[in-house]
Structures are given as structure tokens and as C-alpha cells.
Amino acid sequence: MIKSFRCPDTEALYQGKRVRKFESCAAQAERRLEILDNAKTIHDLMGLASNRFEALSGDRSGQFSIRVNQQWRVCFEWKDANAYNVEIVDYH
């Protein structure tokens, strides 16, 4: 379950609001946020190849990501079966 957001635009999209910067990928991003919200364990996210799940490193050490498309990723921290500090980021 998603417990917190790092990015207000990501939270707005999650709430079903239109967010201009995500217009090109809104449907895919909403699906990824729904998958993240419904995940009971981190393995639920790892099991779907289309998520392209990754443990991040460097300045994002301790975070994970699932891909929306080639440009955007949903980044988050996972603790106690919940996602925290969720944000959609342009990874390029």
C-alpha cells in the first residue's frame, strides 16, 4: 500500500487528477501506481517482468523503481509491506 508521496504531482495523478507533465504517460503511470498500491510484498513487484523492477544505488540507495516507460520511473522506498516517498521521475 502507498503510504506517502515525495512528489505532489505523483500524488495528484494517484488521486485521479490531470497532471500536465505526465500527460504522455498518464495511463501507464496510473497502472504502475495501482500495482504498487496493491502489492503486499516486494516480491509481488519483482514477479511482474513488465515492471522492470530494480533496486537503485548511488544517491538513490535504499530505493526501488518500476518503469512506466523508457523515460519515466516510479521510485519508492519499501518498509513493512508499504511504499513510502513515492515519486514519478524522469530518469534521463
Note whether residue 38 is domain-resident. Answer: yes
pLDDT at residue 48 in the model: 87
Q: What is the pLDDT of residues 5-62, one digit of tens each?
A: 999 999 999 999 999 999 999 999 999 999 999 999 999 999 888 899 999 999 999 9
pLDDT confidence bin for 91, thresholds 50/70/90: confident
- Its domain, for residue 47, covers 8-17+25-90
Neighbours of 23 (CB within 10 A): 8
Note whether residue 1 is domain-resident. Answer: no
pLDDT at residue 70 in the model: 93
- With contact defined as beta carbons under 8 Å apart, do 82 and 2 qualify? yes
DSSP state of 68: S
CATH number of the domain where residue 37 is located:
3.30.2310.20
- pTM comes to 0.94
